[in-house]
Amino acid sequence: MHEGYSLSTYIFRKRIVIWVIGMAFEAKSFENLIGIKGFSDTLLNNHFTLYQGYVANTNKITDTLMAMLKDGKTGLPEYAELKRRIGWEYNGMRLHEYYFENMSKLGRAPDKNSKFFKKVTEDVGSYEMWEKAFKAAGTMRGIGWVVAYYEPVAGKIYNAWINEHDVGHLCGAIPLLVMDVFEHAYMTDFGIKKADYIEAFFLP
Ligand SMILES: [Fe+2]
């Protein structure tokens, strides 16, 4: 390890190096969610297909950027535009993984003994108040995500609105709960009733 670099910096750099040399991302399977309360199989299967598109595009852009780098084409506007776009595709991929991973057939009722429950109670007065704030962010007009982040510097939990996939993330914060509020996440089952979808997302 280079003197002066912390372990986290080293790990971060190692990840970047791995990404640059073209390690392909693989789509995960979330078939275990089929049959979950509140969501039809059709909605879920469409959503899985859409997620797989983000994985494929993240790989495609990564490979194209690498090829352009090798060919000395980094000065082209095409390179710049793909470089700008990679965050959108990558976040589209990872946010969907977090979203599917935080859904469970076992029910979504909060564990009152969990650190999360205790922390939001401490931060905003009650779990119910935190949930109300999270749902309120979700019902805002627009497409994107609502993410409950743990912000380690302040030691607090924040509900953030992410516009599309890439605008509004809190630097250094850790996503704890992720909710998709793009129309594809609910229109198949709920039409334009986004609030009903959000209630289904929180079904116990
Ligand atoms: Fe989605």
- Helices 127-138 and 115-124: crossing angle, nearest 10°? 90
Query: First CA to last CA across the chain, in angstroms?
Result: 47
Please give the chain's pLDDT, 204 residues, in tens. Answer: 333 333 333 444 445 444 554 579 999 999 999 999 999 999 999 999 999 999 999 999 999 999 999 999 999 999 999 999 999 999 999 999 999 999 998 877 888 999 999 999 999 999 999 999 999 999 999 999 999 999 999 999 999 999 999 999 999 999 999 999 999 999 999 999 999 999 999 998
Buried b (16+ CB within 10 A) or exposed e, 28-43: eebeebeebebbeeeb
Give domain limits for the chain: 7-101, 115-201
Residue 174 Cα to ligand 1 midpoint, Å, equals 20
Residue 25 Cα to ligand 1 midpoint, Å, equals 18
Q: Where does residue 108 rank: exposed (0-12), middle (13-18), buried (19+ CB within 10 A)?
A: middle
Residue 13 Cα to ligand 1 midpoint, Å, equals 29
Residue 74 Cα to ligand 1 midpoint, Å, equals 31
Contact present, 105 and 143 (Cβ < 8 Å): no
Residue 200 Cα to ligand 1 midpoint, Å, equals 15
Residue 185 Cα to ligand 1 midpoint, Å, equals 5
Residue 145 Cα to ligand 1 midpoint, Å, equals 9
- 181 — phi, psi (to 5°)? -125, 30
* CATH 3.55.40.20, domain 115-201, yes or no: yes
Q: What is d(CA 182, CA 141) in angstroms, rounded to the nearest whole number?
A: 10
> Which amino acid is it at 74?
T
DSSP 34-45: TT-TTS-HHHHH
**pLDDT at position 12, please?**
47
DSSP 124-176: HS-HHHHHHHHHHHHTSSSSEEEEEEEETTTTEEEEEEEETTTBS--TT-EEE
Question: Residue 10, Cα to own-chain centre: how many angstroms?
Answer: 24
Residue 19 Cα to ligand 1 midpoint, Å, equals 24
Q: Where does residue 86 rank: exposed (0-12), middle (13-18), buried (19+ CB within 10 A)?
A: middle
> Which residues make Cβ contacts (< 8 Å) with residue 49, sequence separation at least 6?
none
The structure's pTM equals 0.88
Residue 51 Cα to ligand 1 midpoint, Å, equals 7
